[in-house]
Copies of this chain bind each other. A is one copy, B any other.
Amino acid sequence: MRKNVLNAGHVELVEYLGGDKAVVRNARRCWRSEDRSSEESDKNLIHHLINKGHKTPFEALVFTFDVKCPIFVARQWMRHRIGSYSEESLRYCVTEGEYYKPDDLPEEINRHWDRVHLYTFDMYDYFLENGLSKEQARSILPLGTYTKFYWTVNASSLMNFLKLRMDKAAQKEIRAYAFAILDMVKEVAPITFGAFEESLE
């Protein structure tokens, strides 16, 4: 599953561990209630866990995403410390020069937006050609430059991310990623993320 986000980004669900069944398995371990499992009672159990804030069983459900987003979005993202990030490094890689641009900029601003980026990426190339290291030359690159990383995160930490980043108070750009992710994980673990979504209402 892969979704395009913003003008040049994407998020892709690469692989995952567990599912609704893993959540139920782990929760029932606590009460040794494996024999009480049924479609109906499992669903009720997951809703109960969500509503009571019993988060541990959701840690058995783990996702790896491939993310491409502007660096300023990545900075918000990586403030979430319970999860793993493997990111492309501008110490070793030359930027591909893709940059974020908001939709519907007024014409004048749109023109300046492109111009300042083109000028900056030109300067970056010039600095590299004239012997500056990649790790120093990147100092001039815009925060809207796209970066790529893999993110491995369990469902408990992911729900915390989604709650904060789908919120109206969050920035529009990261909200777009959060909604795209929710759509994907609802297909993998429909009861868990269905209950989660209801809990936000």
Contact = CB atoms under 8 A, between A and B. Distances in A.
Interface residues on A, range: 35 or more
Interface in A154-187: 154, 171
Contacts of A78: 75, 78-79
Interface of A is mostly: mixed
Q: What is the count of identical protomers in the complex?
A: 4
A86 B119 contact: no
Interface of A: 15-18, 22, 25-27, 29-32, 56-57, 59-60, 62, 64, 70-72, 75, 78-79, 81-82, 84-93, 99-100, 102, 105-106, 108-109, 112-113, 116-117, 119-120, 123, 126-127, 130-132, 135-136, 138-145, 148-150, 152, 154, 171
